[in-house]
Structure formats: structure tokens, C-alpha cells
Structure 1
């Protein structure tokens, strides 16, 4: 059930605001933090929801070390293929090598189990589905361990546009002339090319769906509330393929 107003406000203040676009240029959408169902029991019983890979002692990522850390991590972890599992089916992603910071960041988050027990939390039919957040307390806790405040420098490739199945990074809701990416959320584009004028050149496209667009389409058709949040949470898990 939905938590009280105090909990909601506290969560909203904790989360950075992220944006994507819906019907007009630069429509902003804050990351959601409301509880949609009986998640307290899930939080208490699912001990895996907060686990971070501790096989290596990685530093907290900050805006000061983000480039050096992800550059080194990317050299040691060159994988480009990721599997996203949902109750609707599986989605395979291919990450582009010429957006190296975004690729390395995504692989890092997958290997640190960040995405496990997060949701496809925003669905806009015939436009995008967005993932990487949840209304569980485990999500801000994970972010706090990995690096709560860092942003990714834009890696916008001239001529690369949003197309059916491309993957882009969401942006924090702020004055953002440098077009930096919020590291924890991504969206898959489904909409017509006529909907991309405010996306192209403003959001880093760092990958594409290589298999499973039928699953993406199923997710894009679920019922949502007025804030584009699915009425039934769409949990995801992620793992590196190669």
C-alpha cells in the first residue's frame, strides 16, 4: 500500500530528479518514490534486493573520479551484451563501444546487481519505456553505496539519432547545458521519428535492443497511473552475457 506523506516526501528529496520527454520538448518527470503495493513485506523478506557485489573493493563514484574510474573499469570489463529479464519475457541489449563511459557504467551497475529488483517504472505508449528506479527503499540504499550524486559526461555522437529500439540515458532534472546523464536510469525508444527532435543531440544514445522488441512492446501497453507508472510493478533483473 502507499506509504504516508512523510515517507513519500523523504524519498522524493532523496532521489535526484530525472527527466525524459513525453509530449513536448523537455517535459520533466521526477523519479517516482511512492509505494504502489505491499512492498514492506518484500523488503523484509527479499534479502537479495540490496546486495552489492563485494568481490572487489570499488570506491564510491563521484563527479571528480567518474571519468578515471569508468575508463579503467571499461578497459578491464569490455562486455557489450546484457540480458534484461522481466515477467513479460527477456530483452537483450547491445551496448555501443563508442560511448565508452556509458557502456562501462551500465556494465558496472549490472555486475554490482544494481538493476535487480528495480522496475520499468515509466511507460509512455508509442514513445518510451524507462527503467532503473523503484519505490523500494533498497534502491536509494544501493545508490548511496555506489555513488549517489555522480553524473555521466555526455557522449553524444554526431548523426546518431533515436530510432526504434535505441537505448538512451535519462537526464537529471536540473539546468543541464552540458547534457550529462543520470547514471541509474535508461529508456528504450519506441516512438515515431517525428517524436525525436527534442531527444536527438540532447540525450546520449548508448545502445540498442538486439532481441526482444516484442517484449518491449508488451510492456509499453500496460496500464499506468497519471504519472506513467505501471499499475503493477514490472520488476527487472540484469546480467552480462558477453
Structure 2
């Protein structure tokens, strides 16, 4: 089934205001909904449409030949520089592959919830397609949803018990500081234990621990968090779309 970006708006983020006053469980829920289509590009001869059955093998092979780890997202508010984690090879390879093919140059930050996250990667006007597939989750306890974390959105739990990621929709966490008591509750819920360093991050710079072990974190902002904050200030409509769209272009940069 295909959906517009409005339809694949994170259902759980509709309840983010409830979450922000203390009810846990609001989580990004962006769905993968594109169909297969070939297209020639300037950077890759062909963006081969993937399926969930073919994605792992193709991304594994791609990752061995493309060790890119630095990404630059450009917007009308400025640039955001990110580092991708080598410990999440499928997500890194997928993001680099789509970036090099120019796929993300047709996207935008289409969902903005101040104090929570900004989400990008999709657009109703896209012509370049990447195929209908999901990426197996690559949870790593080292990587949490701290402020500035880069993670991949996904289907909701009822349709995705394995918590596989969307093929292309990503988000950058803004978040707010949490208390130690809140973190202990999330530890119990997710059957995990935060390190002292992670607790210090969440209680100082902030983040969204409700999303840990639910969505794959595969990178982080290393420069330009002020740009994320500017995007988060965009006026939005009742469905959290920016009233003035925020297009982005994305490229890999030298190590």
C-alpha cells in the first residue's frame, strides 16, 4: 500500500505532547512506502531498486566498497555535519548509497516537533525511487537517542515486530534533559542499563530515551546542531508539517 508523506506521518508523534508531559511511549513511526523504479543519476549509473529480501546482501557488498562516514546536510538554515557509525554497517551503507545516488537531494524535513525531533528524507514530489524494502535493526547499547542522534524511522510495532527500519526516512533528535528517575524507568521498560556517561548526557544536553532499543541510531551531529534547532523553530500546521517547506540536499564529504 502506498501513502503520501502526510499519511506516513509518525502516528506516535501525534501524541508527543502527551509524552513530553510524562507519558512514555510516543515514538517515531514513519513507514516505508515506495515501489520499485529504476532511474539513471549523475553519481551512480543506476539506483537499483531493493527489496527486503535483497537489501542485506546488496548493502553488505556496498558497505565493503564505500567506507564513507561523514555526511553534510544542507538546508536554507545552514549545514549539518554528521558522522555515521561503522558499528551499524547496513544503515550506514544504505544512507551513503542513497546520498551518492542523489536520492536525498529530492527530500525535505517534512515533520518538525520542537523539543523532540526533526524528520527528513521524504517528499511528495520525489521522482527518484529506491524500492520497497526495510533494513534489519542494528541496535547497539553504545548509541542512545541523545540530543543530536541520527536514527532511522520505521513501521509501528503492530506491523513490524522485528523493529526493522524504513529504507529512507531519518530523524535527528532534539530532545530535552531528563531526570535520573525518568532514565531508571526507561531502563526497566527496555531491559537495559545506561552507563554513567550516558546518564550524564541525558541529564545535561538531553535527548529522547523513550526511543532507545526501539529505533536504530546510526550516527550523530558533530557540527550544526544550531541548524537543527532553527528547523525545529519552523511554524507548523496541525500535523506538524512546516508551513514553509525545508528542502535538504545531502552529500558525503572527505574523512
Q: Compute the TM-score of the two structures, normalised by the length of structure 1.
A: 0.78
How far apart, in 1, do the equivalents of 2:54 and 2:230 lie?
39
Q: Which residue of 1 aligns with 2:172?
A: 188
How far apart, in 2, do the equivalents of 1:15 and 1:126 lie?
21
Choose which of 153, 157, 160 in structure 1 pairs with 2:140: 157
How far apart, in 2, do the equivalents of 1:58 and 1:185 lie?
17
- Gap change, CA 1:179 and 1:157, over 3 Å in 2: same
User: Offset at 1:142?
Assistant: 1.9
Choose which of 56, 68, 80 in structure 2 pairs with 1:79: 68
**C-alpha offsets along residues 99-144 of structure 1, whole Å, 9 cap, x if unaligned?**
00000000001001011131100000011000011221x2xx422x
- Gap change, CA 1:15 and 1:77, over 3 Å in 2: farther
How far apart, in 1, do the equivalents of 2:2 and 2:52 lie?
22
How far apart, in 2, do the equivalents of 1:157 and 1:167 lie?
13
Q: Which residue of 2 aligns with 1:44?
A: none
Q: Which residue of 2 aligns with 1:142?
A: 128
Q: Which residue of 1 aligns with 2:85?
A: 96
Query: Aligned ranges for residues 51-90 of structure 1 at < 5 Å?
Result: 52-53=41-42, 55-57=44-46, 59-90=48-79
- The answer as to whether partners of 1:18 and 1:170 remain within 8 angstroms in 2 is no
Aligned: 1:17 with 2:3? no
**C-alpha offsets along residues 12-60 of structure 1, whole Å, 9 cap, x if unaligned?**
36998363642441456567xxxxxxxxxxxxxxxxxx86346434532
Q: Which residue of 2 aligns with 1:198?
A: 210
How far apart, in 1, do the equivalents of 2:44 and 2:236 lie?
38
- The answer as to whether partners of 1:16 and 1:172 remain within 8 angstroms in 2 is no
Q: Unaligned 5+ residue runs, structure 2? A: 20-24, 32-38, 179-206
Aligned length: 210
3-state secondary structure, aligned to 1:183:
strand
How far apart, in 2, do the equivalents of 1:230 and 1:180 lie?
27
**C-alpha offsets along residues 181-200 of structure 1, whole Å, 9 cap, x if unaligned?**
00111110011254634300
Choose which of 120, 123, 131 in structure 2 pairs with 1:131: 120
How far apart, in 2, do the equivalents of 1:229 and 1:175 lie?
25
3-state secondary structure, aligned to 2:167:
coil
- Cα RMSD of the aligned pairs, angstroms, is 2.6
- The answer as to whether partners of 2:155 and 2:163 remain within 8 angstroms in 1 is no
User: Offset at 1:170?
Assistant: 0.5
**C-alpha offsets along residues 173-221 of structure 1, whole Å, 9 cap, x if unaligned?**
4521111000111110011254634300100000001110011111111
Aligned: 1:230 with 2:242? yes
